[in-house]
Structure 1
Amino acid sequence: MSEQLADEQATAGSAVVQVAGRAVQLVPDRASGGAESALPADYQRILAAVRQAGGPVATRAVGEALTLDTGVRGKLEPLRGKLTKLADRGWLHKRGDGKFTVRP
């Protein structure tokens, strides 16, 4: 059954699952050989913003590139979570100073 679920997730792209009654999009690991197109659209936009920065970039700068209201902390925390998730999955690198870069 787990093989069937893995096959369905691989062919469906960004799978949506229920967690605690809420719909949550899965972010695949980069190591699994998936392309960026397998990521949800908002994660693709985040990757593009980090790539355009051309170097280490802070969460606030990514938020500005995505035209978020960076003056409100509540708008940056979900973005920080998404950046961290991308780093945990191998799409980005999180540096010790909290800035993010694109992995080669």
Structure 2
Amino acid sequence: MLDPELLERITLRRAELDELEERLVKQLTEVRAERDERAVAERVLERMTGELAEKRASGGPVPRQVSGRAVTLIPHREPGVEESRCHGTTSASSPPGETWNEVDLRRCSRTACAS
């Protein structure tokens, strides 16, 4: 005949093991999800690093962080710049990749080069 005390101990240990298994399965799922997120973040970082390197090499404007948002810094309008540079156009004397900022475009829209 089965010993009731021994049977109870076995049953309790199986319940403990079932509970441990549930916790480990949950933890494994969380670890896999975080690992997948890290892999995606790594790919994004590699792609962005490559894009920034290309932009730097081409001499174009490079995005910066301002208030947590990526923006492209645009040089301010220099005194004596002709109006033909309105609406993002550049002249032969302007640095590569230089464009107008919004204030310059608003000023320009009030002048003869308004479209």
Higher RCO (CA < 8 A, seq sep 6+): 1
Do these two structures clear the TM 0.5 threshold for a shared fold by scoring above it?
Answer: no
TM-score (norm 1): 0.28
- Greater per-residue strand proportion: 1
Please identify which structure carries the higher helix content: 2
